[in-house]
Amino acid sequence: MRRMTPARFPETLAFLMRRRALSRLGAMGALAFSQKIHSSSHPDHKQRIVCIGAALTEIVYEIGAQSYLVGVDSTSTFPADAQRFPQVGYARSLSAEGILALAPTSVIVTEEAGPPSVLRQLSAAGVAVEVLDSEYRYEGLIKRIAVLGRLLNHEAAAVSLIERLNLEWNRLHLPISAETSIISAPRRVLFLFAHSTSRLMAAGAQTGANAMIHYAGATNAAPGYLGYRPLTPESLVSAQPDVLLMTDHGFRTFGDISAVLKIPGVAQTPAGKNRHITAMDAGLLLGFGPRLPFAVKHLRSQFMSVLDS
């Protein structure tokens, strides 16, 4: 699926005559235009799309373009219907063979997908690889919706989705921002990303967790670094978070709050002393898909709940 540039026609006599003729069609022309827009909202069944990334798959469903799908990655579990498609593996460790077996016309990914060698293989095999920005901001989500609407010929549905999200976002985000601006010391939240009980990472700046913490009216307790870094007991104690935030999967890795409290350094933090530990579905927390307004509202509610406990 490659972008096409509109053709340019010279202002010839034949063209001018054609333009005048079209202008006389009046209502018929308007009807034809309406029919064209209507037809563009229906899937082109010649397209076969593999979508890599939970948020991108959610957008495809939200704009009604799921008939294009022939495969998704392992993180694409929402909506539940997405799980009926063949899975091509984890977004960061894709295999060209598994994707090519689905005979896609295009593969849609974010810039986090890889490895790059696999994306090059797909492109070399004649598959259009569309790489979208993975910006962890509300504005980034809106851009991705607009791009997908254009790529999948569902621009009207994309515009409607953007308008709805803008309304939801303004109702939610503006009051939170106003409230946070008058608080001298917002609550400090540390996001723990747990691959296993022996490997803990903390989320610094330019991560989805950092953006979500701020959107929910708190501040990131992690030291001033970019991305995810291994977390030592000393840095955990130094961060002094009021709340520890984890994904549901990471929390289940430990089992319960008592096990999390045994992580070296946790008991020496305000979060540990007060048992202020909360968890959230990874796709909802870090996906930055169409459920973003709901995710921020839910996260803020969780912060307030644990802090009041």
Write down the mean pLDDT value for the chain: 84
pTM over 0.85: no
* pLDDT tens-place string over residues 234-266: 999 999 999 999 999 999 989 899 999 999 999
What domains are defined for the chain? Answer: 49-162 (3.40.50.1980), 185-308 (3.40.50.1980)
Per-residue pLDDT, averaged over 87-112, amounts to 95
Is residue 188 within 8 A of residue 218, CB to CB? The reply is: yes
Given this model, what pLDDT does residue 45 score? 53
* pLDDT tens-place string over residues 145-158: 999 999 999 999 99
Judging by DSSP bridges, how do beta strands 199-203 and 219-220 pair with one another? unpaired
Q: Is 17 exposed, middle or buried (0-12, 13-18, 19+ CB in 10 A)?
A: exposed
Predicted confidence (pLDDT) at residue 24 exceeds the cutoff of 60: no
Given this model, what pLDDT does residue 304 score? 87
Given this model, what pLDDT does residue 18 score? 40
Per-residue pLDDT, averaged over 29-43, amounts to 34
Enumerate residues 6+ apart whose C-beta is below 8 A from 117. none
Q: Which two tokens stand for residue 228?
A: 């995810």
* pLDDT tens-place string over residues 104-138: 999 999 998 999 999 999 999 999 999 999 899 99
* pLDDT tens-place string over residues 170-199: 999 878 876 665 455 578 999 999 877 678
Lowest mean pLDDT among 5-9, 40-44, 121-125, 240-244: 5-9
3-state secondary structure 55-118: HHHHHHHHCCCHHHEEEECCCCCCCHHHHHCCECCCCCCCCHHHHHCCCCCEEEEECCCCCHHH
Is residue 205 within 8 A of residue 224, CB to CB? The reply is: yes
